[in-house]
Amino acid sequence: MAIDITKYPVTILIVVFTVIRLLVANLIDLGNDEVYYFTYAVLPEWNHFDHPPLVGIFIRLFTFNLNCNSEVFVRMPGIVGAAVNTWLIARCGQLVKNKNTGSIAAVLYNSSVYASIISGVFILPDSVQLTSWLAALHSMLRCIKATSPKYINRHLLLIGLWIGLATMSKVHGVFLWFGFLGFICFEHPGLLKSPYLYVSLAVTAVLASPILFWNIGNDFITWRFHSERVTVTGEGINLKSFLRTTIGQILYANPFQIILFILMGRELVRKKVFADAASVVLLLWCGLPIIIATILVSLFRDTLPHWSGPGFIGLMLVGAAWTDAQLSSSGRTVPRKLLAGSAGLILFVFTAGPVLVRCYPGTMSRKSFPHTGAGDATLDITGWEQLLPAFEKLRNDDIASGRMAREAPMVVHKWFPGSHMYYYVVYPLGMRTVGMGQLEDLHHFAWLNALYGQIAPGSDAWYITPSNNFTDPAEQYAGRFERFEKAATITQRRNGRVARYWFVYRLRNATGVGYK
């Protein structure tokens, strides 16, 4: 019997985009951040140098305790999360207006570059956080619509649970509390009398408490790291950072959606009603603060545009309600064209991105040897599988000839490209890795040293540096080893042309001086 797909638009979206994400995840290598978060799974902590622990825990779960470590399994939390989030945002849209609004919201979610690709294909703290973020929005909407004290109290407690989990994914989950409490103070002050609201706050505090306790034992290193990234300095306006962040937000959200949000905002300014008013106000409270905060910080410090990504979830829901009202009442073609354009753009990115990454001949960089490939961002996510067999052969030959000991570790001085070396070389070969450098460069590798140990004086080590991020070990480790031998140059080719080189070194006779 034939199935009428128009009756199941959200289900069809989930199936189609999950298949697309699985294909893309299998076609491209892990990026800098992704291989770094794999180290969280190898050495779980209550908190980490730069982020809370949930992303590492979910990687460990979805790789079946690190027994299935292919790119697809490492990325599975984001892929599964995107499917769940599509269902969640559709449910939220139904609460804001109706079922059709939910379907439109699901389309907007899956055509957002941030939600569908950055957090839906790649594995980042955002990939895990967005599910809790959406679940929190769902409970908030249910809470303000409920009339029974029993259901109000239940959803108040769930809000605390979901925000706690969102915060344990990425600390800016606390923006949800800022938004919800702001909404309550101005729109729903009666909830301030509910003891369940304060119990909910306590639930979040308890769930997020490992972040605090870990930092107490580690000199508040996470606090100091992030404060340096957002503290306003006296250097004046950083116009370059502001433009980069703003343009990045537009691209990540999808330019067609930005136009839709602007048109929606114009209707809100005119106080035209197109959805449940309380729901719209709540979603704006939970979305705009993190977007505005990111923009303000970018005026003074370098920021990353995806910091504000979760804030656009609320705008998607309000935009979906506005789009539904436009299509239902006037049949205007502009909202329909914006939806089509948004979907078309994301499908183009899903198609063109992997083709460009895998098939571009050589490198886009104009840098010459030994910096071949420098500045070519596509090299972060392709070609790493060519390194392992070449290095493994070199290592085995050196072990067989007695030139290097089997237990000789790999040395890294910075979390990138050290994380790529770890995931694609060190971990598969069962080698040790030793972080030798400054804490602000090593990040979690400083804690991995507790697992793998240091280098004994007089022993040797391996070092690999890619040409697109070249660092001379003789300069980096001057005085820490007696000699630096160039062991090999491994060539990466893409579509028949040289894309970059990996330079392999033997670091001889560790002096034991200058360990960090």
Residue written as tokens 């730069």? 50
User: What percent of the chain has pLDDT above 90?
Assistant: 91
Sorted by sequence, the CB contacts under 8 Å of residue 469 that are 6+ apart come out as: 374, 416, 417
Quote the tokens at residue 91: 């449910």
Q: Any idea which residue has 């997020």 for tokens?
A: 208
**What pLDDT score was predicted for residue 4?**
46
Confidence band, pLDDT 50/70/90 cuts, at residue 1: very low
Q: What residue has token string 């042309």? A: 497
Q: Token digits for 127?
A: 């990939």
Residue 232 banded pLDDT, cuts 50, 70, 90: low
DSSP 33-93: HHHHHHHHHHS--SS-SSS-SHHHHHHHHHTTTTT--SHHHHHHHHHHHHHHHHHHHHHHH
Rounded-to-integer distance, Cα 174 and Cα 469, Å: 36
Does 121 score more than 90 pLDDT? Answer: yes
Q: What is the pLDDT of residue 6?
A: 57
Instruction: Tell me the percentage of the chain whose pLDDT exceeds 70.
Output: 96
- pLDDT for the residue 236: 76
Q: What are the boundaries of each domain within the chain?
A: 5-145+252-355, 377-510
Give the Cβ contact number of residue 370 at 10 Å. Answer: 15
pLDDT-wise least confident of 2-16, 245-259, 338-352, 414-428: 2-16
Helix 175-187 vs helix 277-298: angle between axes, to the nearest 10 degrees? 130
Place of tokens 């391996």: 462
Please state, rounded to an integer, the average pLDDT across all residues of the chain: 94
Tens of pLDDT, residues 328-363:
876 678 999 999 999 999 999 999 999 999 999 999
Where do we find the tokens 């067609």? 256
Selection from 245, 248, 215 nearest residue 50 by Cα: 215
In whole angstroms, give the CA distance from residue 290 to residue 274.
24
- Other beta carbons within 10 angstroms of residue 149's beta carbon come to 10
Task: Using pLDDT thresholds of 50, 70 and 90, give the confidence band for residue 212.
Answer: very high
Per-residue pLDDT of 57-86, as tens digits, reads: 999 999 999 999 999 999 999 999 999 999
| Confidence grade of residue 402 (pLDDT, cut at 50, 70, 90) | very high
Amino acid at 379: L
For residues 146-174, average pLDDT = 97
Q: What is the pTM of this model?
A: 0.95
Residue 86 near residue 13 (C-beta atoms within 8 A): yes
Q: What is the pLDDT of residues 472-509, one digit of tens each?
A: 999 999 999 999 999 999 999 999 999 999 999 999 99
pLDDT at residue 238, rounded to an integer: 87
Length of the chain: 516
Strands 433-435 and 410-412: parallel
Phi, psi of 481 (to 5 degrees): -135, 155
